[in-house]
Amino acid sequence: LVAAQRVPNEMYFLYSVLTAVGMALLAPYFAVRELKRGKPFGNFRERMGYLPPELGRGVAAGTAIWVHAVSVGEVLAAKPLIEAMRRRFPGRAILLSTTTVTGQQLARERAAADATFYFPFDWPRPVRRAFESIRPALVVILETEIWPNFLREADRRDVPVVFVNSRISERSFARFRRFEPLIGGFFRDALHKADLFLAQSAEDARRLKKMGAPEERIEVTGNLKYDHEPPKQSAFGEWLAREVAQQERWPVLVAGSIAAGEEEAVLAAYDVVQRQWRRALLVLAPRKPDRFASAAEIAEQDGWTVRRRSKIDVNAVLDENCDVVILDSIGELAGLYALADATFVGGSLVPVGGHNILEPAWFCTAPIFGPFMQNFREMAARFSSAGAGIQVASGEKLGKAWCELIADPARRERMGEKARALVEANRGATARSVERIGAVLEAQRGVL
């Protein structure tokens, strides 16, 4: 028995050492990146578990719900969940952590949590410090952020952990199977420390089971992203809508979540549209902030007249010669899909795995996406089979698809209606998830 207990301890120790070494090697890169942002080591203290003292002030021990959403996509998925939990558990503080800077920024602006902070590095001491500050009743983790030391500490403190909207991408699962002889036992031990896995799909549930999650703790509750409501239009979006109408710019194309290596293909597709409709306007939104400047440079080098959203004066008029607007901001993309006559959702022409295609559908606009949709495989299949979206194989095919939709208003409207109907038909994951979270809380601590 002692030997059986020692092996996991040794594995956790080795894992902590390896992650620390990796962090030390990457430290110069992160330091340079933070210096460029003008915030050197701005979140380092919180990542080390030293959370602001006011975080737990006025919150009784064992009452708060700690929600973790790694970045922008997870924060957006967390928003309706947090709102539903606030209604269901009105006596509990809801605290939201993120890993990325962009996720933290969006969380502070939109998530409606009682407080936001950065998730600790997955080393024993930072994790312990964070738990001491928050003293949660429950941890809710969006999707499948598996941090072994964190899960171990939660288990040691008898704090239940629920994974919500869980998914295991094809790439992650293939990587796990490749290294399973080395890490399989370690992962199984970590996953056994979670209380419940609420999976997006039956395939995600199957993969979780294969990775070691106990079958009796896995349930399929659906995808939270179907439960989003369309966001309110930003001031910039309202301004752009007025400018487009006054200048009679048409069609408007919105290419969102564009990954590195996709800019050229999207601009080439736009060129095909511009040859037929000279008053067209493209809004191009890079997925990551570090691509904002690069995307603008690529468009300018291709001969387009470019304006960056950050440099546009919304009290002035849009440059009549503007061909491409680079959306170099966080949190405004979803609302701009409302202006689109045709769209493209990126991360899908290159092997990134795709991004959320529901955002155009909220506004009755059929999404177009590329062949690499591994992270949203089921969703992409539903849209394609329902005639509510179009999957293209290349940038050349994207240009053709855009032109066909623009030239056929009846088809465009029909597909948009199907896209919105598909969203409505798949709602309900939030309510099911909150119900299961409530059952875990009741079993562990009792609901306030």
Residue type at position 438: G
Place of tokens 């809710």: 140
Cβ-based neighbour number of residue 95 at 10 Å: 23
> What are the φ/ψ torsions at residue 323 (nearest 5 degrees)?
-100, -40
Residue 74 appears among annotated catalytic residues = yes
Residues 6+ apart with CB under 8 A from 414: 387
User: Closest Cα to residue 81, out of 213, 231, 229, 189?
Assistant: 229
Dihedral sign (CA 67, 69, 75, 81): negative
Q: Is 256 helix (H, G, I), strand (E, B) or coil?
A: strand
- 155 by Cβ neighbours in 10 Å (0-12 / 13-18 / 19+) ranks as middle
The Cβ-side half-sphere exposure at 283, using a 13 Å CA radius, reads 31
Set 46, 74, 263, 332: catalytic member: 74
Q: How many CA atoms lie within 13 A of 198 on its CB side?
A: 25
Tokens of 279: 């008053």
What are the CB-based long-range contacts (under 8 Å, 24+) for 435-438? 436/162, 436/196, 436/198, 436/219, 436/221, 437/85, 437/88, 437/138, 437/140, 437/162, 437/164, 438/88, 438/89
Rounded Cα gap, residues 52 and 417, in angstroms = 47
CB neighbour list of residue 35: distance below 8 Å, 6 or more residues apart? none
- Specify the DSSP element, H or E, that contains 378: helix 377-385
State the DSSP string of 151-198. Answer: HHHHHHTT--EEEEEE---HHHHHHHHHHHHHHHHHHHHHHTT-SEEE
CA 148, CA 9: separation in Å to the nearest integer?
11
Q: Beta-carbon neighbour count of residue 46 at 10 Å?
A: 22
Catalytic residues: 74
